Structure 1
Amino acid sequence: MEHRLPYRRYAAASFVATAFGNSTGASAVVGAVLRARVYSAWQVPAFAITRIVGFNLVTLGLGFAVLSALGMLTAPDRTGEALRVAPGVAAALGVALLLPVAGYVGWARRGGRAVRWRDWRIDRPSRPLAVAQVVLSTLEVATMAAALWVLLPVGLDVAFVPFAAAFAIATLLGLLSNVPGGIGVFEAALLVLLAGTVDPLVLAPALVAFRIVYYVLPLLVAAVVLVTLEARRGRDETTGSSRSELVQRTGLLTPWVLAVVVAGAGALLVVTGEIPGLVDRLPAHSGPTLSLLGVGLVLLALGLRRRLHEAWLGTVVVLVALTAVCLLVGARVTGLVSLGLLALMVPAAPVFGRRSHVFHHSRGWTWSAVAGGTATTALAWLALHPTDDGQGSWWGLVVGGSHPVSARLVALVALVGLLLAGARLLAPVVPGPATGGEEDLARAEDVVRRFGRASAHLAFTGDKRLLFSAGGDAFLMYQVEGRSWVSMGDPVGDPAQFRELLTTFVERAERHDGRPVLYGVGDALAPTYRELGLGLSKLGEEALIDLGSFGLEGRDRAKMRRWRSINERAGCTVEVVPAEAVPALLPELRAVSEEWLAGRRASEKRFSLGPFDEDYVVRFPVAVVRLEGRVVAFATLWVGDGEGEVAIDLMRQVRTEVPNVMNYLFLEVMLWAKARGYATFSLGMAPLSGLRTDATAPFWDRIGRLVFTHGDAFYNFKGVRHFKECFHPRWEERYVAAPPGPAFPTTMLNVATLIGGGVRGMSAGLRTVDASVVRRLWPAARSRARTRVWARRARSSEPVVPTQRSEAAVEVPADSAA
């Protein structure tokens, strides 16, 4: 094994994943996510976790296939009745299940040729290992069946082997249904498969006991194990001290576990429209009402997972009402379960400290009251007005054509009201003003003047919030999009105050149900980001010119000399206008900017670069290119007082007959900055450049590399990299620091929305894409993939590390490079 761990760790990860997977819908997905979460805390790389998850799924599938096929072949009549197919079809399905098992064992061979698909490789197991997989997984499923078999009443003559086969088929159907725990599906299938052998009244108590023994109790124990693992995850291995206040507040009862339980109950109500134990004690027409209440429970579960106080309060109210109803009608079992959940919820109240829009927003409580009142009124109307089929679910009531139009409309209104109330519940509250005020901007200007790098001037674009350290000599500029609190770059100011400032930022975001994100950061603060629970994903590389050694001499600078010569012969000149003289140029600059925006059908963007706003532009020196006395191009210059760095921010140009005008402007600004003693010049970042493609590369790097290679229809990724290479820069890696996990794509979409100027700005960029280029994109990608496959087949079977293709440099206008 490449990554050995103690067996107790394998056991813990497997137990947690299995217990939660058994009790939730989409068990394969839930199990895979939990395994990835647990193993990643033990520094197991992503590719090894993928192999573990895949190996586990294949092994479990082999056991279910063998026992299910046994049941289909030995009892095709009953199996066909359960599956609602003919006995012959059931027998054929049994044979179809055995064929892959036999094929897998036959395919397994030590030293055999691995299966390859693009950059993925699947190694063949040895034949003894494949046989062990089949045997052990079959024994595992048989052991599951034995847990129910031993609970059957004494004296009941039921052979174990047919019972285990029926159990495997029923469990497989429950897993395929994606109903949490297979509730209802598993029991119904098992009753049909055992019809004539076991009385349903005798089997029912055994099924209830089996649910408690095999589902509920392991789930509670797994919750304790998961919390323990999470607590250890947040501790320093050398000192044992806790790294995060979040871990300290987690406690024994995590919101995630409570959310799973509540969501399972809600899903049961949505699917069945019944409360176990109250089927015969509630009005006959209560099915749609209970089904809609299940939708409300699912929404509350989403709020519990995000630790919202209002979700906790709503869940407690529902449990109190359910417990009271159960006690009144004499449903003791259901009442005890509800009371037990209530006993779990009440002590966990301190954990649910986040607030939502429901009561803590200027308009939140009004909309919440209207939506909640509408849903409550509609539910009450449905409860008091029976329908023809009152035992169905809400979706059966809305879609079914046999119900009155009034009932269908009221059910639809109730659903819409619940969804609106849920949306208000789940909407996070962002404290403070939407942008920094004049006082904050004045403080930020003082910090930038004393400490700031060139890109720190983004704080003055007018679209960012500002968060200062306790000492006031460091700040973060950020904005909130969705649930993502996106900071533009590393902190600005005194490095001694960065750690305290970052901790405050992360805690504030998490306290308000947000995800802290730092976009475009370097690796200097990487240890701090990781200690705060953030993962680093590479965005690209920034091109930096060391001005001390920069010049136009030498053969490798011939292209730069050519740019300069062509533009000077055409009559172009470059002038760097100081900030105090910029106001007089504003009319000419605005004309250039408006023509540039109109030609690109674009709108102003603010978050990652400056807009053409007169109050913003006059803050900086402006480099202008004049042709026959007329301004044809310009760029605002960021000057970092603390680090001697110069960077170009806003760039605009009009169409001219002279080529490479912006390249000429870049070159002259570099020479201007060198003459004034500045140390570095930033050419900006080449997005998605330099991402890894080896077998251990993270999934994000693989996706980014794919976009970099085939995404020229949407952005000139390779051209930007090649253009900046013409200046012979040094490259520094840039990252996004964000919480790892399934929410990372959503986080990146929020970041893209901010940078693109909102949804409208992003859609405007997509509208400029040439449709013919997009149509050629997929065939080109397929052609490259086929070429790589044949190249691998031509080489030996040993894995070979692919080498980078050398591509000719492409000249790109500098405005595209930005």
Structure 2
Amino acid sequence: MAKNKKELPRLKALKLLSTLYRLKIIQILIPLAIIGLIIWEGQAEFRRIDWAATLHILRHIEPSRLLLLIASSLVAVASVGGYEFVLRRHFRLSIRRWTTFRIAWIANSTNSVIGFAGVAGAALRTYLYRNRGLSVPTITACIAFLSTITITGISLLAWGGLGGLFPIDAVIRTHRWTLYAVWAIALYLPGYLLFQRTSFYAKWLNRDLPRMNPSTIAASVIVSVAEWALAGAAFWLIASTLLPDLPFRTTLGIYTVAAAAGLVSLAPGGIGGFDLIALFGLQTLGYAPENTAAALVLYRILYYLIPWLIGLVLGVLEFAQNRQKPAETDSRTVEDSLNGWQRLWEFPGQHAWIAEFGAWALGKLVFLSGAVLLLSAATPGLLGRLEFAEELLSAPLMRLSHQLSLTVGLMLIVLSWGISRRIQRAYPWTLGLLCAGALFTFTKAFDFEEAIFLLFVALLLYLSRARFYRIGAPIPRERLAVWAATTLLIAYVYDIVAAGTVPEFMHRLPDNRYLHLILNPTQHTIAVVTGLGVTWLLLSLALLLRPNKITASSASAEELDRVRGFLNGANGNLLTHMLFAGDKRFFWACDGRVLIPYSIIRNKFVVLGDPLGDPALISGGIQECQRHADLYDLEVVFYQVSPAYLPIYHENGYRFFKLGEEALVNLTTFSLAGKANTNLRTVINRFDREGYRFEVIQPPHDPQALERLRRISDAWLKGRREKGFSLGWFDPAYLQKAPIAVLLAPDGQEIAFATLAPSYDGGRTTSIDLMRHLADTPNGTMDFLFIRLIEWSRDQGYSVFNLGMAPLASVGEARAAMREEKLANRLYEYGGYWYGFKGLRKYKEKFRPAWEPRYLAYPARVSLPVLLVELILLIARRPNKGRRVKVK
């Protein structure tokens, strides 16, 4: 029973954690779970497919037919922009038609590929419309409306399938669960027509805007029907190219069932559910698995991948330009404008990567360029082109081009991350490799399509050259491991594809005439291993010889002397003495008039406390620090900031998390008189009577005395590692900078000590720093030490004594507090098993302090849970090693 009571607090905390985060996780977990189930169900079907034969079929599609299929797919995708034009008319948006179409294409094509539950498309629309001055409520209403109207078209097609207009019986008989999916989609349209007449629907779309009238809803339904019908027609046209005599009505029925299965999975583009049902449906018509798989792959490429590539290009051009800022009259944030139902699914959603979409899109284009080079190298060239290339070039040169294009492809895949992060040095490397890759793929087998694509990406990169301004970026070991694993996985896939396609192609060669131009499986393996080795070698050399890095090593003696001189003319704060611990570096802003102490953990530039200097310069100093950190792709966060500067942090884009409260004793009013202090007086009298003595020793300290105190510290630590950053630690050089209070036993032996930390504010405030005692000291030892310290500080003329932080005290108690702070409150209430949060607060409360809150200031784009973990790691990092943290 006792054990169960002990486990109860942990169970409550875990229950709350689950409640707080499940709505976020559910949007990702549900689609992933459904995709996993679909893949598990269809794994036997996927194994039947000869993927090498599938690639061979795709490689030999006639160019003229391919152009027709691309055009039909782009027309089908373009129809989705009709929603935007309907909303443009309804809300009378002052946006050009081409701009409206461009926004629709970028948002829809991206959402189709990576948009779980519509989040990506909603976030992109929000950002793009805000850049054109649209009010937040209008944007919110547009996206909320789109989230409900787009399914109405497929719902109408589902009714056609259920009514026999499009044959769907064969597919449903094979997989009975698809009938429920079709009915669910079919019932959506009548449900929507009833739902949009309710007050709940009006609340979803915000009541302060024009209500969606019947003409707007009718026009949107027509657009939805056109969208899904054209997508089905494009699917039939693509499939009929590889599946002769494919009936249109039957294909549309298969498409409807497959689309319904894809929609209920909530996955981007219905991936998994759509593909499996479409495969089953087409094979029930008697077509070979390789041909049906080729039709699906081609549909994914033409209807999803190519439009997404076009969307990426448009995104690069869109975000490369300076757009109009949001209207100044609209001070409401996106988050503020959402009602409760919209917040449930986070429409329209604020996502940090949106502001970086242009560079992110360019990085993905570079990644795809590398993938194109690898795919081109893995599949044999066309016979006619091989013959033409051999007439112009020698076979050894063609083989060398093959090897170089493979190596360039691997390097582009790795460099795409640097392009996404806007790294200055990644730009010339990538530009050169794109041009080289275009040359090598051209001389390998006259593959001009790949060469044109690579040169086009190179042109976009060149046009965006001004965006690459960052000197470096943090490259942790995990990132290097991911790069290594990614290149190994891609190389493995390359080897499988190459081994699967080459024998088939060799078998078809007339008289083995061009065998000397084609790599066999062994040669492909050697080529990819060589490419991996060259790629890793070159990138390792680039990292070793990198010219620019930012370090967060121990401060030098010269830097500490400069800090002392600065503090002679500027006030410090409660954390200023920690600057002399030596584990922090200093950023000087505003021509040296603002001091910002920092350390680096992963990609965080963590500032300890508030900046020091003239209050009028603090905001400018923060902005200068942000610009400096951004050059190295670091996020600036401020740890343990005071309430006085919160407006300044807010103006510079920061959010806040309450860390706890600082206990500040007013020495001018402190007294042990009164009934409430009876226990404290009893402690003082007992220790005085038994002969214990309190002393404060001033620096410089005797090395032998410090050695005796070290034994107390080591005994108190019990083998645990010292902490740092915001906490002091036992280091003789550090202890020499401030007085030390010592408690002596009756026999004259030190049994406890506490170091003091002046605040450099003209002698007004002093703080407790390090506190250590032996295990066998009598009860009340630390009470006696604290009381004597407070009295000594008062006698020295100080007016405030800082007892230190009570972590998580008074955090998340309000009903409307942010959910992370509510979770922290649960930890405060029930986390005594791990740390005595409530006990520490209660202990300090006996000295009657005033409590002053302390906050963590962080940018909105930073994940707070991840940041809190990183701060714990930073504080726990071994302080006495002067560890160097490099940002490449």
Deviation at 1:679, TM superposition (A): 2.2
Q: Which amino acid aligns with 1:676?
A: Q
Higher mean C-alpha displacement, 91-100 vs 50-59:
50-59
Secondary structure of the 1:387 match is helix
Deviation at 1:32, TM superposition (A): 6.1
Return the alpha-carbon distance in structure 1 between the equivalents of residues 824 and 531 of structure 2.
43
CA contact (8 A) 1:146 1:164 kept: no
Out of 353, 357, 362, which is 1:258 matched to? Answer: 362
Deviation at 1:658, TM superposition (A): 1.6
Return the alpha-carbon distance in structure 2 between the equivalents of residues 330 and 341 of structure 1.
19
Return the alpha-carbon distance in structure 2 between the equivalents of residues 278 and 235 of structure 1.
58
Higher mean C-alpha displacement, 683-692 vs 328-337:
328-337
Q: Which amino acid aligns with 1:711?
A: G
Secondary structure of the 2:553 match is coil
The 1:648–1:280 alpha-carbon spacing in structure 2 relative to 1, beyond 3 Å, is: farther
Higher mean C-alpha displacement, 625-634 vs 193-202:
193-202
State yes or no: 1:86 paired with 2:174. Answer: yes
The 1:268–1:8 alpha-carbon spacing in structure 2 relative to 1, beyond 3 Å, is: farther
State yes or no: 1:321 paired with 2:321. Answer: no
State yes or no: 1:619 paired with 2:737. Answer: yes
State yes or no: 1:511 paired with 2:631. Answer: yes
Q: Which amino acid aligns with 2:438?
A: T
* Counterpart residue number, 1:453: 573
* Counterpart residue number, 2:466: 350
Return the alpha-carbon distance in structure 1 between the equivalents of residues 178 and 593 of structure 2.
74
* Counterpart residue number, 1:535: 655
Higher mean C-alpha displacement, 472-481 vs 35-44:
35-44
* Counterpart residue number, 1:232: 325
* Counterpart residue number, 1:115: none
Out of 225, 230, 240, which is 1:142 matched to? Answer: 225
Deviation at 1:318, TM superposition (A): 3.9
Secondary structure of the 1:232 match is coil
Deviation at 1:518, TM superposition (A): 1.8
Query: Percent identity, aligned pairs only?
Result: 24
Alignment of 1:643-662 (within 5 A): 643=762, 644-662=764-782
Deviation at 1:351, TM superposition (A): 1.5
Out of 556, 561, 564, which is 2:684 matched to? Answer: 564
* Counterpart residue number, 1:636: 755
State yes or no: 1:438 paired with 2:557. Answer: yes
Out of 254, 258, 265, which is 1:169 matched to? Answer: 258
CA contact (8 A) 2:117 2:266 kept: no
Higher mean C-alpha displacement, 7-16 vs 86-95:
7-16
Return the alpha-carbon distance in structure 2 between the equivalents of residues 48 and 705 of structure 1.
36
CA contact (8 A) 1:520 1:735 kept: yes
* Counterpart residue number, 1:486: 606
Return the alpha-carbon distance in structure 2 between the equivalents of residues 92 and 477 of structure 1.
61
The 1:652–1:26 alpha-carbon spacing in structure 2 relative to 1, beyond 3 Å, is: same
Higher mean C-alpha displacement, 161-170 vs 495-504:
161-170
TM-score normalised to structure 2 length: 0.63
Deviation at 1:353, TM superposition (A): 2.5
Gaps of 5+ in 2: 1-89, 332-353, 387-397, 505-519, 882-888
Higher mean C-alpha displacement, 253-262 vs 692-701:
692-701
TM-score normalised to structure 1 length: 0.68
Return the alpha-carbon distance in structure 1 between the equivalents of residues 250 and 168 of structure 2.
15
Deviation at 1:630, TM superposition (A): 1.9
Secondary structure of the 2:640 match is strand
Q: How many residues align?
A: 708
The 1:212–1:89 alpha-carbon spacing in structure 2 relative to 1, beyond 3 Å, is: closer
* Counterpart residue number, 2:56: none
Deviation at 1:596, TM superposition (A): 1.0
Deviation at 1:104, TM superposition (A): 10
CA contact (8 A) 1:16 1:225 kept: no
CA contact (8 A) 1:64 1:168 kept: no
The 1:307–1:27 alpha-carbon spacing in structure 2 relative to 1, beyond 3 Å, is: farther
Gaps of 5+ in 1: 113-120, 239-249, 362-366, 393-402, 762-818
CA contact (8 A) 2:658 2:854 kept: yes
Return the alpha-carbon distance in structure 2 between the equivalents of residues 86 and 53 of structure 1.
37
Higher mean C-alpha displacement, 147-156 vs 448-457:
147-156
CA radius of gyration, larger in: 2
Q: Relative contact order, CA 8 A, sep 6+: which one is greater? A: 2
Higher helix share: 2
Return the alpha-carbon distance in structure 2 between the equivalents of residues 343 and 288 of structure 1.
24
Alignment of 1:259-658 (within 5 A): 259-263=363-367, 296-325=411-440, 327=442, 329=445, 331-356=447-472, 387=499, 430-431=549-550, 434-451=553-570, 452-581=572-701, 583=703, 585-598=705-718, 601-628=719-746, 629-643=748-762, 644-658=764-778
* Counterpart residue number, 1:775: none
Deviation at 1:441, TM superposition (A): 0.7
Return the alpha-carbon distance in structure 1 between the equivalents of residues 566 and 328 of structure 2.
34
Secondary structure of the 2:499 match is coil
The 1:177–1:279 alpha-carbon spacing in structure 2 relative to 1, beyond 3 Å, is: farther
Return the alpha-carbon distance in structure 2 between the equivalents of residues 28 and 743 of structure 1.
21
Deviation at 1:589, TM superposition (A): 0.8
Secondary structure of the 2:779 match is coil
Return the alpha-carbon distance in structure 2 between the equivalents of residues 42 and 573 of structure 1.
72
Secondary structure of the 2:466 match is helix
Deviation at 1:489, TM superposition (A): 1.2
Return the alpha-carbon distance in structure 1 between the equivalents of residues 845 and 807 of structure 2.
14
Deviation at 1:476, TM superposition (A): 1.7
Deviation at 1:208, TM superposition (A): 7.3
Return the alpha-carbon distance in structure 2 between the equivalents of residues 75 and 391 of structure 1.
45
The 1:514–1:649 alpha-carbon spacing in structure 2 relative to 1, beyond 3 Å, is: same
Provide the alpha-carbon RMSD of the alignment: 6.1
Deviation at 1:468, TM superposition (A): 2.1
Deviation at 1:302, TM superposition (A): 2.1
State yes or no: 1:719 paired with 2:839. Answer: yes
The 1:43–1:327 alpha-carbon spacing in structure 2 relative to 1, beyond 3 Å, is: closer
Deviation at 1:231, TM superposition (A): 6.3
The 1:758–1:103 alpha-carbon spacing in structure 2 relative to 1, beyond 3 Å, is: farther
Deviation at 1:552, TM superposition (A): 1.9
The 1:99–1:426 alpha-carbon spacing in structure 2 relative to 1, beyond 3 Å, is: farther
The 1:461–1:41 alpha-carbon spacing in structure 2 relative to 1, beyond 3 Å, is: farther
Return the alpha-carbon distance in structure 2 between the equivalents of residues 8 and 148 of structure 1.
28
Deviation at 1:339, TM superposition (A): 2.8
Out of 785, 794, 803, which is 1:674 matched to? Answer: 794
Deviation at 1:306, TM superposition (A): 1.0
Return the alpha-carbon distance in structure 2 between the equivalents of residues 59 and 566 of structure 1.
79
Deviation at 1:9, TM superposition (A): 11
Secondary structure of the 1:667 match is helix
Q: Which amino acid aligns with 1:169?
A: A
Deviation at 1:57, TM superposition (A): 6.2
Out of 768, 783, 793, which is 1:663 matched to? Answer: 783
Secondary structure of the 1:711 match is helix
Return the alpha-carbon distance in structure 1 between the equivalents of residues 252 and 435 of structure 2.
40
Return the alpha-carbon distance in structure 2 between the equivalents of residues 587 and 694 of structure 1.
48
Alignment of 1:30-179 (within 5 A): 30-31=120-121, 34=124, 86-95=174-183, 141-148=224-231, 163=252, 166=255, 169-170=258-259, 173=262
